[in-house]
Structure 1
């Protein structure tokens, strides 16, 4: 079973992030942002997807695995425990469960990376998604 990677672009450039993905052997990026737009150049959905595909890395946006607005606001305010509680409740919803199944299937097929903004995975909901996939696949999780 290939390891499951997570990656945040908060402190990186697009080229730097792609370099880290390639060095780790990642074949697909699963974007787990609710809003796949960014003020950071190159990280909005269309440009990011095109840039990754140009480098031989697939791109999938699973919006239902994004943090709801209240959770994003809690995270921005540094209330990580509150964000986690909000996201856990959100993750129980049917659309999120379907998307989690899709992400798990992708992770089982080859090395993927869950992508979100925050540099530190422990401060980001992607760590929760990664833990759910790890529990299902019994795979290692690596934060790039």
Structure 2
């Protein structure tokens, strides 16, 4: 099974959709705790609408997001704290249930995990797949950076 990941940092909706379409992604699995964004078009409702227009499904799995202390650590580049906070999140029953749902969804059709960070090494989506994505081939997608 192949699971894609993508971040929307420093890109436009058009370039984001182009990267997903080129990879033949059919569903985006949003793993943000708070599916809100200051970047136009990337908050939950408008994102889902844009994806639908492109023929791409959308699912939000809130329990797979990073709690605030982890997001704060990520913004500071404190990967050790992010890892610790997120490991605790993944121990929660809701997160474990949604991780199983995520894997089932990804097995059904080509799917991409979505979060903000462009570089997956600075994002919890990499930690998530390291914890629960055993056997999956992970492919990180990069949308064109906005000029």
Post-superposition shift, 1:131? 2.2
Match in the other structure for 1:143? 140
Post-superposition shift, 1:134? 2.6
Match in the other structure for 2:42? 43
Match in the other structure for 1:8? 7
Post-superposition shift, 1:13? 0.6
Post-superposition shift, 1:78? 1.1
Match in the other structure for 2:52? 53
Match in the other structure for 1:115? 114
SS of structure 2 residue aligned to 1:142: strand
Deviations 1:18-69 (A, max 9, x none): 1000100101000000000000000000000010011100000000000000
SS of structure 2 residue aligned to 1:59: strand
Post-superposition shift, 1:130? 2.1
Q: Supply the distance in 2 between the matched residues of 1:13 and 1:130 (Cα, whole angstroms).
A: 25
Structure 1 alignment gaps of length 5 or more: none
Match in the other structure for 2:145? none
SS of structure 2 residue aligned to 1:83: helix
Q: Supply the distance in 2 between the matched residues of 1:91 and 1:133 (Cα, whole angstroms).
A: 9
Post-superposition shift, 1:11? 1.7
Report the number of matched residues: 141
Match in the other structure for 1:89? 88
Deviations 1:80-130 (A, max 9, x none): 111011001111100000110110100111110000000100110011122
Q: Supply the distance in 1 between the matched residues of 2:46 and 2:91 (Cα, whole angstroms).
A: 31
TM-score by length of 2: 0.93
Match in the other structure for 1:98? 97
SS of structure 1 residue aligned to 2:55: coil
